[in-house]
Amino acid sequence: MSSKKAQLRALRLGRVLRTLLAAAPLLLPAIAHAQATPTLPTVKTIGTRREISLDEAVRIAEAQSEAVRIARAGVQRAEGQQYQARSQRLPQLSGSASYTRTLASQFAVAAPAVDTTKPTPPPAPCDQYLRDATATNDERLAGLEDASRCAIGGNPFSSFGSLGFGAKNQYNLGLAFSQSLFAGGRIAAQNAVANAGRRSADIELTAQRARLRLDVTQAYFDAALADRLVALAESSAVQTDNVLKQTRLARNVGNVSEFELLRAQVSSANQRPVVIQRQSDREVAYLTLKQLLNLPLDSALQLTTAVDDSAATNAALQNMGITSDTAAIDRATVRQAALTIDAQRGLLRVAKGQRFPTLALTSQYGKVAFPLNSFPQSGDFRTNWTIGLASQVPLFTGGRIKGDQMVAEANVRDAQARYDQLREFAALDSRVTINSLLQARAAWLASLGTAEQAARAYSIAEVRYKEGISTQIELNDSRILLEQAVTNRALAARNLQVARVKLALLPDLPLQNTAAAQAQAQARAQSQAAAQQQQQQSTQAAQAGQQQTQGQSPTGTPPQ
């Protein structure tokens, strides 16, 4: 039996050699035609390929991300609102300087007409005409008459000239001080609102960083998976071309039928659209990754982190440690919703505090001068210094305070309802994320050894086909099984890597649910609108206090 098998093998080997020698003149044009086949169009790249790992891609994306910059701006805005709220507890001190030129004054007195029928009044000073007790009665009466005539004939407002009435030049240097003593709890509530807004902004920045890391991880492994699938498709195309060449050679020597040749041609032609599709998917995946990294779209990248690295994936499985569900209250979105409730409660206290009176300590210190010339001298300035208490009590506001309180109460109830809704969404999203990770892990473990077995089966089928033992159908089935095994393993590795990163970032990630995201956006918009309204009310109150304080001129004179 062994001798017969050896003879059969020798006959088959001789037949294969004769077939190759007979088909050599026909095989050379086919090889030349294959070499002349145009390649698939590719996007031109500028410069050399840049090697980039996953960690480096995350760092580049975080430095270039617009979403992270917007979140940082939100943190800065919240910090500024903290300064605004904190400033209401501290004393306010402002300085002022002014110059006034009087062109016409109501205190200017026209000179009286000269009466030629009466004697001219004696010159001033008028008290020089008064006599002492040693003078006679006639001399004392004459002195009184001269002093009276002197006083009547002079300017009746001359003694007020030093007070600045009608002065042409007026200089005013002043300091204004105010300190809030009691505001009905509004200042404390506004500080609580600002602090809640700052903590929410910090959570938002952390959430955007986590979301960016997850997006970059997905895009990176999508590109790596696309590379793997392109390599697999191109390898399958080479295999089908080799089978076509072998089948054409065998057909030329009459060992296979025309049906087998047509089947090989169809298999080879069907593989080309698959290669084109895989290459297009890879290009889209790389464009998405470049957009996240803010790199030029025509730049060339070389990924260094493999998607199906068995050692790294097995280590990730060992360090995964899935023990319990992530608490819904620990999610970033839920924490922000809780801070929104605190902010709305603070605004409610602000609205209620409007019913209480306010008390503030005020002080005005000023230096004034009324020089006869354009510029004052050092001794021309006089001091005005006042101190007082100012209080405001709302007596009738037309229902504004009640309306503000009703709006604040509705906002508190709305924030509480949104918090409950987001907590439910967070619990569901956490369960879905853990289920996806378990599914990815199960798929990865199930794919262990399958690709190696499929590769071994295809090599055996290829040898059997060359020896004429099996048919082309068996070879195609083995190739398809190999493609499926390698694709499933690469896809399972990608899903496992992404699911692992998502679970690690889950406490800081925003919710993926569309309704939850809309609720979060609406709650954030309401919080920002309430903070802006609070700021406007504080500004208006400060302006009203300044107007009330400045209602009296620091010079003690009525305003011009």
Looking at residue 450, its amino acid is T
Is the confidence at residue 209, as pLDDT, over 50? Answer: yes
Mean pLDDT of the chain: 77
Band the pLDDT of 417: cuts 50, 70, 90.
Answer: very high
Highest mean pLDDT among 113-122, 379-388, 409-418: 409-418
Is the confidence at residue 125, as pLDDT, over 80? Answer: no
pLDDT at 311: 63
Band the pLDDT of 497: cuts 50, 70, 90.
Answer: confident
- What HEC string does 66-112 produce? HHHHHHHHHHHHHHHHHHHHHHCCCCEEEEEEEEEECCCCCCCCCCC
CA distance 203 to 79: 14
pLDDT at 505: 87
pLDDT at 315: 59
pLDDT at 316: 54
Decide: helix, strand or coil at residue 51.
strand
To which residue do tokens 């924490």 refer? 335
Band the pLDDT of 113: cuts 50, 70, 90.
Answer: low
Using CB atoms within 10 Å of the CB of residue 493, give its burial: 0 to 12 exposed, 13 to 18 middle, 19+ buried: buried
pLDDT at 178: 93
Non-local CB neighbours of 301 within 8 Å, separated by 6+ positions: 49, 50, 52, 223, 286, 289, 290, 295
Is the confidence at residue 199, as pLDDT, over 60? Answer: yes
Is the confidence at residue 495, as pLDDT, over 80? Answer: yes
All domains of the chain in start order, with CATH? 51-87+183-310+329-357+393-538 (1.20.1600.10), 92-102+168-182+358-392 (2.20.130), 119-166 (no CATH)
513-534 average pLDDT score: 52
Looking only at the bridges linking them, the beta strands covering 299-303 and 382-392 are unpaired
Report the length, in residues, of the chain. Answer: 560
Q: What are phi and psi of 46, to 5 degrees?
A: -110, 130
226-239 average pLDDT score: 87
CA 400 vs. chain centroid, Å, equals 35
Looking at residue 372, its amino acid is L
Is the confidence at residue 558, as pLDDT, over 90? Answer: no
The model's pLDDT over 434-445, given as tens digits with 9 standing for 90+, comes to 888 888 888 888
Task: Report yes or no: 69 and 319 within 8 Å, Cβ to Cβ.
Answer: no
pLDDT at 19: 39
The model's pLDDT over 322-347, given as tens digits with 9 standing for 90+, comes to 444 456 788 888 999 999 999 999 99
Token pair of 341, please? 């409730």
Task: Report yes or no: 23 and 29 within 8 Å, Cβ to Cβ.
Answer: no
Non-local CB neighbours of 538 within 8 Å, separated by 6+ positions: 84, 88, 190
Q: Which candidate, 271, 301, 295, places its Cα nearest to that of 283?
A: 301
Is the confidence at residue 521, as pLDDT, over 90? Answer: no
pLDDT at 324: 43
In DSSP terms, 51 is beta-bridged to: 302
- Lowest model confidence (mean pLDDT) among 4-8, 76-80, 366-370: 4-8
The model's pLDDT over 474-493, given as tens digits with 9 standing for 90+, comes to 888 888 888 888 888 888 88
Percent of all residues in the chain with a pLDDT value above 70, rounded to a whole number: 74
The model's pLDDT over 35-78, given as tens digits with 9 standing for 90+, comes to 333 344 444 444 578 888 888 999 999 898 899 999 999 999 99
In DSSP terms, 174 is beta-bridged to: 96, 366
Non-local CB neighbours of 50 within 8 Å, separated by 6+ positions: 299, 300, 301, 302
Tell me how far CA of residue 556 lies from CA of 64, 320, 366, 368, 384, in angstroms.
60, 78, 10, 10, 8
CA distance 265 to 465: 16
pLDDT at 531: 52
Q: Which candidate, 322, 356, 548, 523, places its Cα nearest to that of 438?
A: 322
Task: Report yes or no: 219 and 292 within 8 Å, Cβ to Cβ.
Answer: yes
Is the confidence at residue 79, as pLDDT, over 90? Answer: yes
**In 13-22, which positions are buried (b, 16+ CB within 10 angstroms) versus exposed (e)?**
eeebeebeee
Helix-strand-coil split of the chain, %, nearest 5: 65, 10, 25
Tell me whether the omega of the peptide bond preceding residue 125 falls within 30 degrees of 0, making it cis.
Answer: yes
The model's pLDDT over 127-170, given as tens digits with 9 standing for 90+, comes to 677 777 777 777 777 777 777 777 666 555 444 555 666 778 88
- For the entire predicted model, the pTM comes to 0.69
